[in-house]
């Protein structure tokens, strides 16, 4: 059995750094990710998963907004 991995909690500075990078580019290249690893002290895996989750969340939010707009137009 594998031991369960501890959930990484990001501090304010790490979160601000990741959000600023995401605002500039939602799909950073390997060099940018490496730079983020150095800046935040997080593992490459945590950075990769954070970007994947953020893109997915934004996509879901966009779909929900579009759905609400269509609903409002039909009323």
- Give me the CATH number covering residue 61: 1.10.10.60
Whether residue 4 has pLDDT greater than 90: no
The separation between CA 38 and the C-alpha centre of its own chain, rounded to angstroms, equals 17
Q: Is residue 3 part of a domain?
A: no
- What is the number of structural domains in the chain? 1
Residues near 48 by Cβ (< 8 Å), separated by ≥ 6? 33
Kindly report the number of other CB atoms within 10 A of residue 15's CB atom: 13
34-69 burial, b at 16+ Cβ within 10 Å, e below that, comes to eebbeebebeeebbeebbeeeeeeeeeeeeeeeeee
Q: pLDDT tens digits for 20-67?
A: 999 999 999 999 999 999 999 999 999 999 999 999 999 999 999 999
Is there a domain that residue 64 lies in?
yes
């Amino acid at each position: 059995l594998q031991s369960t991995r501890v959930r990484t909690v990001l501090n304010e500075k790490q979160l601000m750094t990741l959000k600023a990078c995401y605002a500039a580019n939602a799909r950073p290249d390997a060099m940018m990710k490496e730079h983020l690893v150095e800046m935040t002290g997080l593992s490459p895996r945590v950075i990769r998963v954070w970007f994947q989750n953020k893109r997915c969340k934004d996509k879901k939010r966009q779909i929900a907004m579009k759905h609400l707009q269509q609903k409002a137009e039909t009323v």
